[in-house]
């Protein structure tokens, strides 16, 4: 036993000795490393660098590309636009949006996608900025198209601004308080979100070259120039991703057919040019699609051909764009079931006719299908709008249309669109009639009630039923029927009561098309829509 203990003691002693030796070795290494380090950086042992060759700045190499050339040519004509909006009575500045200088850089472009700016306003070029006395400031871009100082930008950049300032690339930097040269609004067009402003100048200013946007093709290289996040004259490059993009539905989007690009566009780029590889402006940077208030690779520019037409109207004597109208509304895209039920492939199905408007006076009715203008076939609503809006108020056109399968022609006058639809106002549903559910929940998925007298009087209708509820996931839900809408027709048959609606629906077999003509009581003077599909 004593021998075993002695053996164990020797093992323990050797382990301690080995441990001590290891610690001494590590300590010496650390000390040596410290000494060496001191020798490198300290005065005791300086490193001899006499053999090191000094670096030389090489002669500049011209690596000019088309991008470089275009940027140099166009940039002098691109300007920064600063605006100031004073507080209004009630604490509302009246401006939509604010400035790109806000911490979260909320983008003015979000107005196209249902998002709101930091101040609760819908849109604007950024968020609120700090300003003395509550003054709200905003920043955008623009470009000079006339050496006398005429500048194109977006309407939302200058909308409701009390003061507008413009800075050229050649203007000296006067410090934080120097916003630039004062500018005045020549004219604005809200339908295309374009504006023309002017600055005074004693000398001719550099201008851009305008191009033909119809010549732009998907895949073409483009450059976007502007002042994102207050970074003046920033150039980004990308390609044309798509053309004729519509990003806002309804009448407000009829005149907004955008060029889509993946060139980086951010807050502050609004109003700046989109330039092709020939240095020509083919668009005005107007909007982006974003879920983070920043660039995500999808930007939109108003085509230059539209810009030129609007510009020429805005610099005219009236300083506004006058568009023709015949006083009808229609849907841009219809379910296939609607065209089958109403018996047409090409043409425009009339949703509603403005009372006392040119179309009403010419005898057009809801449900008519416009097939031609001045003898030329019409394929759809976009073509109809392009032709009619270009007509001067006071002139006339020959319209061909189908009614109950019969072709008819009539002469229709052209009115000023802005005046014709000036009285279409939104309102609420104040009816208090009790709900009278029908028995269609199992098949269509809606419950209806008689129309409240106040609603019927407001809309000027005597028939129809109002949807009181829609079953989630039902056929009605899938085709877009919603509570509050008023059904006036089903498959071209008038509906005057819940019982009549049930009888019509019950007569339609599964697998057949069913189309509802509905009215929105919140919209006065219009709001008719065709909704339909194949009944399961």
Confidence of residue 198 (pLDDT cuts 50, 70, 90): very high
In the set 193, 262, 313, 438, the catalytic residue is 193
Which two three-digit tokens encode residue 482? 């919603």
Q: Do 278 and 258 touch, CB atoms closer than 8 A?
A: no
Confidence of residue 50 (pLDDT cuts 50, 70, 90): confident
Distances, alpha carbon 356 to alpha carbons 76, 333, 353, 362, 525, in Å: 51, 26, 9, 10, 11
Q: How many domains does the chain have?
A: 3
For 290, list phi and psi in degrees, rounded to 5.
Answer: -150, 145
Q: Do 294 and 107 touch, CB atoms closer than 8 A?
A: yes
Helix (H, G, I), strand (E, B) or coil at 187: strand
Could you confirm whether 141 is annotated as catalytic?
A: no
Same domain, 347 and 284: no
pLDDT at 16: 43
Same domain, 142 and 274: yes
The predicted model gives 97-107 an average pLDDT of 33
Same domain, 255 and 145: yes
Could you confirm whether 233 is annotated as catalytic?
A: no
Say which CATH number the domain at 528 has. 2.30.42.10
pLDDT in tens, 163-197: 999 999 888 876 666 788 999 999 999 999 999 99
Choose between 356 and 110: higher pLDDT.
356
Percent of the chain with pLDDT over 90: 40
Same domain, 281 and 329: no
**Residue whose tokens read 């990003």:** 247
pLDDT in tens, 384-420: 998 999 999 999 999 999 998 899 999 999 999 888 8
Same domain, 409 and 269: no
In the set 270, 304, 352, 474, the catalytic residue is 270
In a domain, 34, yes or no: no
Same domain, 340 and 378: yes
Q: Do 106 and 293 touch, CB atoms closer than 8 A?
A: yes
Same domain, 309 and 334: no
In a domain, 440, yes or no: no
Instruction: Mark which of 314, 348, 381 sits at the end of a domain.
Output: 314
The closest of 326, 332, 327 to 349, measured between CA atoms, is: 332
Burial pattern 290-303, b for ≥16 Cβ within 10 A else e, equals beebbbeebbbbbb
Helix (H, G, I), strand (E, B) or coil at 18: helix
The closest of 324, 344, 301, 270 to 107, measured between CA atoms, is: 270
In a domain, 169, yes or no: yes
**Residue 426 per-residue DSSP state:** B
In a domain, 328, yes or no: yes
What domain range includes position 349?
324-420
Say which CATH number the domain at 202 has. 2.40.10.120
pLDDT at 393: 92
Instruction: Mark which of 265, 293, 314 sits at the end of a domain.
Output: 314
Same domain, 354 and 294: no
In a domain, 54, yes or no: no
In a domain, 175, yes or no: yes
Same domain, 159 and 119: yes
pLDDT at 171: 84
In the set 93, 128, 141, 156, the catalytic residue is 156
In a domain, 61, yes or no: no
pLDDT in tens, 220-236: 999 999 887 777 778 99
Query: By 3-state DSSP, what share of the chain in percent is helix, strand and coil, each rounded to 5?
Result: 25, 30, 45
The closest of 470, 445, 465 to 455, measured between CA atoms, is: 465
pLDDT-wise least confident of 123-127, 244-248, 307-311 = 123-127
Same domain, 275 and 301: yes
pLDDT of 264 strictly over 90 = no
Instruction: Mark which of 259, 287, 314 sits at the end of a domain.
Output: 314
CA 183 to the chain's CA centroid: 26
Could you confirm whether 270 is annotated as catalytic?
A: yes
Which two three-digit tokens encode residue 155? 């309407």
| Element containing residue 71 per DSSP (H, E) | helix 66-74
Same domain, 403 and 516: no
CA distance 43 to 289: 61
Confidence of residue 260 (pLDDT cuts 50, 70, 90): very high
In a domain, 23, yes or no: no
Tell the burial category of 229 from Cβ atoms under 10 Å away from its Cβ (0-12, 13-18, 19+). middle
- The reported pTM is 0.66
Same domain, 128 and 250: yes
């Amino acid at each position: 036993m004593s021998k075993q203990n002695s053996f164990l003691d020797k093992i323990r002693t050797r382990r301690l000795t080995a441990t001590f030796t290891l610690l001494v070795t590590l300590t010496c290494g650390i000390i040596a490393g410290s000494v060496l380090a001191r020798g490198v950086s300290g005065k005791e042992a300086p490193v001899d660098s006499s053999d090191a060759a000094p670096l030389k700045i090489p002669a500049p190499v011209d690596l000019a590309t088309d991008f470089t050339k275009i940027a140099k040519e166009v940039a002098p004509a691109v300007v920064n636009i600063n605006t100031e909006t004073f507080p209004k009575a009630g604490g509302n500045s009246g401006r939509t949006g604010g400035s790109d200088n806000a911490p979260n850089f909320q983008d003015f472009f979000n107005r196209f996608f249902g998002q709101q700016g930091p101040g609760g306003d819908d849109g604007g070029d950024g968020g609120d900025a700090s300003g003395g006395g509550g003054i709200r400031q905003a920043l955008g871009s623009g470009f000079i198209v006339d050496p006398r100082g005429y500048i194109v930008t977006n309407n939302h950049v200058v909308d409701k601004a009390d003061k507008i300032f413009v800075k050229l690339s050649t203007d000296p930097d006067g410090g934080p308080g120097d916003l630039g040269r004062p500018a005045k609004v020549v004219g604005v067009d809200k339908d295309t979100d374009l504006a023309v402003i002017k600055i005074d100048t004693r000398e001719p200013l550099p201008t851009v070259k305008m191009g033909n946007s119809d010549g732009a093709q998907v895949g073409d290289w483009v450059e976007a120039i502007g002042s994102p996040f207050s970074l003046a004259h920033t150039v980004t490059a990308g390609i044309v991703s798509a053309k004729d993009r519509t990003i806002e539905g309804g009448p407000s989007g009829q005149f907004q057919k955008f060029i889509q690009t993946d060139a980086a566009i951010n807050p502050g780029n609004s109003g700046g040019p989109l330039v092709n590889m020939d240095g020509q402006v083919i668009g005005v940077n107007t909007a982006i699609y974003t879920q983070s208030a920043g660039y995500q690779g999808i930007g939109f520019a108003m085509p230059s051909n539209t810009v030129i037409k609007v510009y020429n109207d805005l610099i005219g004597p009236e300083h506004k764009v006058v568009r023709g109208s015949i006083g009808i509304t229609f849907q841009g895209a219809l379910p296939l079931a609607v065209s089958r039920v109403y018996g047409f492939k090409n043409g425009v199905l009339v949703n509603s006719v403005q009372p006392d408007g040119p179309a009403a006076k010419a005898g057009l009715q809801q449900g008519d299908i416009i097939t031609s203008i001045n003898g030329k076939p019409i394929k759809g609503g976009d073509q109809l709008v392009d032709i009619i809006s270009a007509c001067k108020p006071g002139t006339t056109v020959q319209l061909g249309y189908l009614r109950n399968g019969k072709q008819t022609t009539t002469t229709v006058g052209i009115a000023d669109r802005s005046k014709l639809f000036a009285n279409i106002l939104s309102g609420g549903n104040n009816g208090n009639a009790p709900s009278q559910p029908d028995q269609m929940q199992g098949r269509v998925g809606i419950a209806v009630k008689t129309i409240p007298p106040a609603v019927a009087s407001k809309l000027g209708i005597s028939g129809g039923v109002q949807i009181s509820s829609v079953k989630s996931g039902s056929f009605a839900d899938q085709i877009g029927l919603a509570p509050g809408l008023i059904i006036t027709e089903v498959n071209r048959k008038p509906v005057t009561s819940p019982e009549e609606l049930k009888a019509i629906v019950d007569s339609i077999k599964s697998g057949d098309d069913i189309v509802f003509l509905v009215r929105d009581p919140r919209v006065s003077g219009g709001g008719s829509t065709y909704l339909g599909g194949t009944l399961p």
